[in-house]
Structure 1
Amino acid sequence: MFHLLLVIIYLAFISLGLPDGLLGAAWPSMYQEFQVPVSYAGIISMIIAGGTIVSSLQSDRLTLRFGPGRVTAVSVAMTAAALFGFSVTRSFLPLCFWAVPYGLGAGSVDAALNNYVALHYASRHMSWLHCMWGVGASAGPYIMGYVLSGGGIWNTGYRCIGLLQIALTAILFLSLPLWRDRPGNGRDSATRQEEGGGAGDPAPAVPLSLMQIIAIPGAREVMVTFFCYCALEQTAGLWAASYLALHEGVSTEAAAFFASLFFIGITAGRAASGFLTLRFNDTQMIRLGLALILAGILIFFLPLGGNAALAGLIIIGLGCAPVYPCVIHSTPALFGADRSQAIIGVQMASAYVGTCLMPPLFGLLANHISISLFPFYLFVILVLMFLMHERLLKKTRR
């Protein structure tokens, strides 16, 4: 049964990634229909990110009260409803409305699933699960592109993904009896809540406030580590093609292709990382990833031309692969199973804040100074991430 639940969680991670690339794939058609500026996509993405941050911060409270199974099932149901809302929208303002449950659902399921896997499964499964997210994130735009290239409209693409989410919601609700915590992991109270509890059971654990979480030794450091990771990943993904085309002289077609290889590198790297975790622990995998990111960035500084910069970008993608899943998987060991859900919730929130703030900040620097600052920007973020992770290890060493 435990392995059957793992298969369901794999499907949930694919589902989590499916909607992520839809807006970017569909927006060229959507903004013309809505008669709004192309930049309005940023408004939608900010609303989604804001909802994700809010629900991530509430994940500890929700999971303690309802259990990870119910939180996951309801969250996926919310995203399914939001996707259907997108599919029937004919103007911009309703799109903003449906972006709210979209973000709230995504944040809750992300934090709940990551904590559950960190508590119950080996590090290799965390890497492979995030690889499955990459599969979903790649498949979503492909489905949208297939619909549009076949003469369909963007609404149909959203409806297709919505149907897949509804199917997964049904599977998750049917799987609720499988969501059981292993004994001795510090979350027994949440398990009793999900199973219905009993009169003689101890009182359930009290969710931690944000200030209580921040006061935990190492919490600030892991929050900054996550902020930096997503800032680096999203900045590289958003601006790599522009840097290659404008600074390295690579053709726009080749630049776009290699920018996509950055994300493919992350996905393939996470598949490989799952096997490497059989030999190396989480800390070693994170340091290996940071070293590869450094090597990729340093290639940008060398006067080797556009082809070397392309290789550097792929190496950065491979380096990013183990960092995110291994930091999450190490959370129960560093902070204790009883506090891991609270810590992972603020990690997710910090990650989305980094996603929201840092890529646009580089856009301002590129616009007002020069896009050649791209490798310097990534290097500064990487150094801060390394220092914070090392400080995290010192503060949580037992």
Structure 2
Amino acid sequence: MGSVSAVEVPRKSLRTPTAVAHAAFVPTGIATVLLGPVLPALSARWSLSDAQAGEFFFAEFLASTLGVILSGMLVPRLGYKSVIVLGLLFMAGGVGTLPMGSRLLGMAAVAGYGVGLGLTIPACNLLVAELNPGKRAAAVSLLNFSWTVGAVACPFLFTPFQRRGMISPFFYVLAAFVLLIALLIARVSFPPPGKSEAASSQPTKPLLAMLQTPVALVLAVLFFVYVGTENAMGGWLASYAKRLNGTGGTIWVTVPSFFYAGLLANRALAPVFLRRVSEIWLARISMGIALLGLVTLLSATSMAVIIISAAVIGLGLATIYPITIALLSSSFGPGANRVGSVMFMMASFGAACMPWMVGVTSTHMQSLKVGLAIPLAGCLLMLGLYFRDWRGGVANAVSE
């Protein structure tokens, strides 16, 4: 009897909403960063300039803005599971059609899986934050650890296909994997949204009133700038490394993985750090580390320095997004779902605009290094915002 129960408990734990949110976030991480490692190959296939390549980032994350809007509308009506599964289906369709035709079809495919990202990412983040009211930052950080597993794996998964000139099969295999995850999640039971004990005990305010609070305005800027900065770095690191790589080979393809490995490592350690320092101070320290890495990257002259800098930037940025989501959830309680739809929309705007701005600046200035000064400025802005006085705003955003 003891051996039977020992087997059944872990099986049950793997079918919880939190566990399947982690499962969904692995392919979501792969899809989010997909353009970074594959963009040089797509640019060569379609003869794209940096400005034209940047349009793919713009299409992906502008479409994800639509997905975020739909997610905010559909979660209260359909529940978390339906929205997450729908998002994964959009991802599978977009990824599977990306290599099938012209630049315009590729743009449409990227937009398709962008909608899927917009549906899935906020639903998973808010689900996990809602289910873990006593440890939101740690729980969301671990969720984004799973996202980063996919992000780290993406360039390494793509490299063997790229070496053999088998780019299209890579997309088909990835689409099949995403579809499999969607089918598995469809078999799991989820709780209805907005029914946690902590949430139900807090008052609710009109959406417009919540958005007019100072903390909401600061969070909107943080969501825009952080996600834009992360996507600009992940999207352009491979191209930057390729241009500075004078030895040939394909090591430049894996440079984004070192960035995401930094994210992975620090998101795994974040729950430990949060036992010793406050969320705000951890964010301040982390932004300082990210700035150090960016300055080093922009002055790098060797591949080794680029790789180390990419990892340091990832280490610095790792805790910012989970902490920002935790602040959103703790500030607005049962209203976090509605406010979150606006915040994740701002995140999608940032993800659309900042990588595109890097490409446009690079083309006009004939220097990708100059273009990457944009995420550097973004880090400076975030550091300044996290040095504001958060004590009153976070505690009183709902009650004010």
TM-score after normalising by structure 1: 0.78
Quick one: which amino acid aligns to residue 93 of structure 1?
L
- 1:147 aligned partner: 161
**Alpha-carbon distance in structure 2 between the residues aligned to 1:125 and 1:132:** 11
Q: How far has the Cα of 1:245 moved from its partner?
A: 9.0
Tell me the SS of whatever aligns to 1:354: helix
- Asked if the contact 1:17–1:134 (Cα under 8 Å) also holds between the matched residues in 2, the reply is yes
Write out per-residue CA displacement over residues 10-41 of structure 1, whole angstroms, 9 at most, x where no aligned residue.
111102112234344445555666x5536554
- 1:79 aligned partner: 91
Quick one: which amino acid aligns to residue 378 of structure 2?
I
> Equivalences for 1:1-398 in 2 at 5 Å?
4-5=15-16, 6-30=18-42, 35=46, 37=48, 40-86=52-98, 89-121=100-132, 122=135, 123-150=137-164, 153-177=166-190, 183-186=196-199, 208=207, 214-238=211-235, 260-296=257-293, 311=308, 313-335=310-332, 337-365=333-361, 367-368=364-365, 377-391=374-388, 393=390, 394-398=392-396
Quick one: which amino acid aligns to residue 130 of structure 2?
L
- Asked if the contact 1:59–1:342 (Cα under 8 Å) also holds between the matched residues in 2, the reply is no
- Asked if the contact 1:25–1:144 (Cα under 8 Å) also holds between the matched residues in 2, the reply is yes
Q: How far has the Cα of 1:363 moved from its partner?
A: 4.8
**Alpha-carbon distance in structure 1 between the residues aligned to 2:62 and 2:347:** 12
- Asked if the contact 2:194–2:334 (Cα under 8 Å) also holds between the matched residues in 1, the reply is no
Larger mean CA deviation between 266-275 and 324-333 belongs to 266-275
- Asked if the contact 1:221–1:388 (Cα under 8 Å) also holds between the matched residues in 2, the reply is yes
**Alpha-carbon distance in structure 2 between the residues aligned to 1:370 and 1:24:** 18
Q: Which runs of 5+ in 1 are unaligned?
A: 189-204
Tell me the SS of whatever aligns to 2:15: helix
Q: How far has the Cα of 1:158 moved from its partner?
A: 1.3
- Asked if the contact 1:232–1:382 (Cα under 8 Å) also holds between the matched residues in 2, the reply is yes
Tell me the SS of whatever aligns to 1:186: helix
Seen in structure 2, the aligned counterparts of structure 1 residues 376 and 147 have a Cα distance that, compared at 3 Å, is closer
**Alpha-carbon distance in structure 2 between the residues aligned to 1:235 and 1:46:** 11
**Alpha-carbon distance in structure 1 between the residues aligned to 2:22 and 2:150:** 10
Q: How far has the Cα of 1:141 moved from its partner?
A: 3.4
**Alpha-carbon distance in structure 1 between the residues aligned to 2:224 and 2:359:** 18
Give the alignment's Cα RMSD to 1 decimal: 3.7
- Asked if the contact 1:140–1:161 (Cα under 8 Å) also holds between the matched residues in 2, the reply is no
Q: Which runs of 5+ in 2 are unaligned?
A: 1-11
**Alpha-carbon distance in structure 1 between the residues aligned to 2:236 and 2:182:** 35
Aligned length: 373
Q: How far has the Cα of 1:165 moved from its partner?
A: 1.2
Seen in structure 2, the aligned counterparts of structure 1 residues 167 and 284 have a Cα distance that, compared at 3 Å, is same
% identical aligned pairs: 21
Q: How far has the Cα of 1:52 moved from its partner?
A: 0.4
Q: How far has the Cα of 1:72 moved from its partner?
A: 0.8
Tell me the SS of whatever aligns to 2:318: helix
Write out per-residue CA displacement over residues 307-340 of structure 1, whole angstroms, 9 at most, x where no aligned residue.
77865554332111111111112222122x2111
Q: How far has the Cα of 1:293 moved from its partner?
A: 2.5
TM-score after normalising by structure 2: 0.77
Seen in structure 2, the aligned counterparts of structure 1 residues 224 and 112 have a Cα distance that, compared at 3 Å, is same
Seen in structure 2, the aligned counterparts of structure 1 residues 3 and 207 have a Cα distance that, compared at 3 Å, is farther
- Asked if the contact 1:294–1:379 (Cα under 8 Å) also holds between the matched residues in 2, the reply is yes
Q: How far has the Cα of 1:349 moved from its partner?
A: 2.1
- Asked if the contact 2:15–2:188 (Cα under 8 Å) also holds between the matched residues in 1, the reply is no
Quick one: which amino acid aligns to residue 44 of structure 1?
F
Q: How far has the Cα of 1:265 moved from its partner?
A: 1.3
